[in-house]
């Protein structure tokens, strides 16, 4: 347990996939605020800009974390659909920081459309990034997490794990993440490595450009709390699962959606 005055994650190294933009960027900022050194693993370093929701700061995430919180951070170019790239990213992390304590699987893509509209290649790409990439990251990170004093995996899924929407590949991948989380939790319990999932609802990121302003307005109306989610809201949930306060929670899922699911959506 942490000592008085000590940063909750001040002695830990975290990898956050898909952390250049959106939810991943919010997670990385929250973990760095708690003192963690953070590896930003993404296919591009520059943060994406959205038509509906834009950036409050256009600096790359790794640079932002150093400037805001004084932690160590680096960007590692990583396509999570490529197992070789994921393995190299994990090894670079361990070489640079001496170990790995927290893995946050977050990288994801969305290709909207029905089963008849989405190509087989696009379907495979979504599954490769959103589901297989989580497996690759866990596979190569687990030996190092087992060696850590407080190993953690936090998988970012979606409320779409509970129902259709967003396309067959997206819904399937997000549901698969939840059960992968449970399976990994059982596998790693003997080493006291916890594995949990966070399921965001409608979060203000460039992903909300899908469907345009009309879709955003509809999602806002369907969210009971009086605002849409911010990346920091998901970051808060991830930081909790990464902390010592969650050391006896594993195989769990936490919905962060402003009441969206409770409202019957």
Options 3.40.50.720, 2.60.40.10, 3.40.50.10490, 3.60.120.10; CATH of 13-256 = 3.40.50.720
* Eight-class DSSP state of 251: S
Answer yes or no: 170 catalytic: yes
- Residue 95 is predicted with a pLDDT of 98
The Cα–Cα gap between 260 and 257 comes to: 5
Helix/strand/coil for 212:
helix
HEC readout, 145-202: HHHCCCCEEEEECCHHHCCCCCCHHHHHHHHHHHHHHHHHHHHHHHHCCEEEEEEECC
- Residue 254 is predicted with a pLDDT of 98
- Residue 224 is predicted with a pLDDT of 93
The CA distances from residue 152 to 27, 103, 263, in Å, are 14, 6, 31
- Residue 123 is predicted with a pLDDT of 96
- Residue 209 is predicted with a pLDDT of 53
* Eight-class DSSP state of 229: B
For residue range 125-137, what is the model confidence (pLDDT) as tens digits? Answer: 999 999 999 999 9
Residue of 123, 134, 170, 260 marked catalytic = 170
Report yes or no: 39 and 77 within 8 Å, Cβ to Cβ: no
Q: Mean pLDDT of all residues in the chain?
A: 92
């Amino acid at each position: 347990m942490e000592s008085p005055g000590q940063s909750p994650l001040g002695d830990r190294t975290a990898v956050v996939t898909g952390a250049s933009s959106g939810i991943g960027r919010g997670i990385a900022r929250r973990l760095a605020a708690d003192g963690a050194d953070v590896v930003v693993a993404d296919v591009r370093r520059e943060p994406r800009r959205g038509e509906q929701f834009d950036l409050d700061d256009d600096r790359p995430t790794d640079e932002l974390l150093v400037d805001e919180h004084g932690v160590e951070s680096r960007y590692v170019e990583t396509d999570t659909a490529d197992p070789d790239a994921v393995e190299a990213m994990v090894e670079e992390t361990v070489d640079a920081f001496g170990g790995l304590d927290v893995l946050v699987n977050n990288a994801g893509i969305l290709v909207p459309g029905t089963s008849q509209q989405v190509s087989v290649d696009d379907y495979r790409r979504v599954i490769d990034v959103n589901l297989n990439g989580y497996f690759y990251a866990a596979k190569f990170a687990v030996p190092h997490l087992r060696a850590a004093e407080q190993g953690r995996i936090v998988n970012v899924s979606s409320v779409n794990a509970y129902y259709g929407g967003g396309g067959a590949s997206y819904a399937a991948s997000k549901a698969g993440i939840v059960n992968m989380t449970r399976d990994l939790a059982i596998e790693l319990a003997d080493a006291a490595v916890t594995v949990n999932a966070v399921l965001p609802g409608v979060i203000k990121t460039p992903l909300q450009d899908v469907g345009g302003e009309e879709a955003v307005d509809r999602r806002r109306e369907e969210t009971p709390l009086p605002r849409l989610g911010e990346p920091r809201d998901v970051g808060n949930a991830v930081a909790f699962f990464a902390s010592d306060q969650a050391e006896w929670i594993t195989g769990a899922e936490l919905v962060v959606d402003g009441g969206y699911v409770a409202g019957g959506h």
